[in-house]
């Protein structure tokens, strides 16, 4: 079973890049399921139901998110719909938080997969519950399920926290894919007990930008220390950051992880 995981899709430029690149990637690698992080899908902050549908038509099957999940009211209002294919981080502390943090879905071959979205604590806001304790609870709650794989999107800032979280889950899940920094890392590998890992899958967005935002805005923000509205870059060369994970359906262990980076 092969899962294509696409990093944070940043704004209109990212959406257009997905529509251009994803069909060719699917033809080349034949994934059984495509998952993407959608927290920056609509103008870099949250998502609308229309943009989720746009990405579904482009070939994405399911979506994770992160702390920007609340950036668009129309998207937030859909999170409690069990048919809406978007997760929010599972470790928000209130039981009244809209949406769900994990779900069991099926790929094109009818394999049942647990997809978990969880957020880090180091250098991150808002303050969420321990990802370590919450993932343990989720794995206990789903232990009776007949699963072919367990996919975890760990939305976090610090590489040290991400890597430690991967080590903690080695042998318990099929993969831990880091998101949030929008910078693809070069550490895709499989831990000793069979869990695939990468610190960050990267993003889909403008290559000549500051993590998808117009670079001049962010440079000036650092120079002046004044707040600035983040405006996604929509022009120029686009990068498509993703990883392809191959999983043994019988053991739920990873067989391979391959970084796939394409450009428009």
The first and second tokens of residue 88, run together, are: 């929010």
Q: How far apart are CA 6 and CA 243, in angstroms?
A: 7
H helix count then E strand count, the chain: 6, 13
Identify each DSSP E strand in 97-187 by its residue range: 102-106, 112-119, 149-155, 175-179
pLDDT of residue 108: 80
DSSP SS3 for 150 = strand
Distance in Å from the first CA to the final CA of the chain? 28
| Distance from C-alpha of 10 to C-alpha of 146, rounded to nearest angstrom | 35
pLDDT of res. 125: 87
Neighbouring C-alpha atoms within 13 Å toward the C-beta of 99: 27
Q: What are the backbone angles phi and psi of residue 28, rounded to the nearest 5°?
A: -75, -40
* Structure token digits, residue 147: 């699963």
pTM exceeding the 0.85 threshold for the entire prediction = yes
The span from the CA of 171 to the CA of 106, in Å, is 21
Q: Measured between alpha carbons, how far is residue 114 from residues 69, 94, 97, 257 in Å?
A: 20, 22, 20, 18
Residue by residue, pLDDT tens for the chain (264 residues) are 999 999 999 999 999 999 999 999 999 999 999 999 999 999 999 999 999 999 999 999 999 999 999 999 999 999 999 999 999 999 999 999 999 999 999 988 789 999 999 999 999 988 999 999 999 999 999 999 999 999 999 999 999 999 999 999 999 999 999 999 999 999 999 999 999 999 999 999 999 999 999 999 999 999 999 998 899 999 999 999 999 999 999 999 999 999 999 999
> Is-contact 226 243, C-beta < 8 A?
no
Integer Cα distance of 36 and 119 in angstroms: 16
- Decide: 162 and 199 in contact? Cβ < 8 Å: yes
CATH numbers and ranges of domains, the chain: 2-263 (3.60.21.10)
For 82, half-sphere exposure in the C-beta direction (CA atoms, 13 angstrom radius) is 3
Task: Output the pLDDT for position 1.
Answer: 96
pLDDT given at position 107: 87
Which residues does the annotation mark as catalytic? Answer: 68
């Amino acid at each position: 079973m092969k899962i294509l995981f696409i990093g944070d899709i940043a704004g209109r430029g990212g959406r257009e890049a997905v529509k251009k690149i994803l069909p060719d990637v699917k033809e080349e690698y034949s994934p059984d399921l495509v998952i993407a992080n959608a927290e920056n899908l609509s103008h870099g902050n949250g998502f609308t139901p229309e943009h989720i549908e746009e990405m579904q038509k482009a070939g994405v099957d399911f979506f994770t998110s992160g702390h920007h999940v609340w950036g668009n009211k129309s998207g937030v209002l859909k999170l409690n719909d069990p048919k809406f294919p978007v997760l929010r981080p599972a470790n928000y502390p209130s039981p009244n938080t809209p949406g769900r943090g994990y779900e069991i879905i099926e790929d094109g071959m009818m394999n049942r997969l647990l997809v978990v979205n969880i957020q880090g604590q180091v250098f991150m806001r808002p303050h969420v519950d321990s990802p370590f304790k919450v993932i343990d609870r989720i794995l206990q709650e789903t232990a009776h399920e007949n699963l072919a794989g367990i996919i975890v999107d760990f939305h976090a800032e610090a590489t040290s926290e991400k890597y430690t979280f991967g080590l903690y889950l080695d042998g318990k899940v099929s993969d831990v894919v880091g998101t949030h920094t929008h910078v693809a890392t070069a550490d895709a590998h499989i831990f000793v007990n069979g869990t695939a890992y990468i610190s960050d899958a990267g993003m889909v967005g403008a290559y000549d930008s500051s993590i998808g935002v117009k670079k001049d805005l962010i440079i000036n923000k650092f120079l002046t220390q004044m707040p600035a509205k983040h405006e996604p870059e929509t022009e120029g060369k686009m990068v498509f950051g993703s990883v392809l994970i191959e999983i043994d359906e019988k053991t739920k262990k990873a067989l391979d992880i391959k970084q796939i980076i394409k450009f428009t």
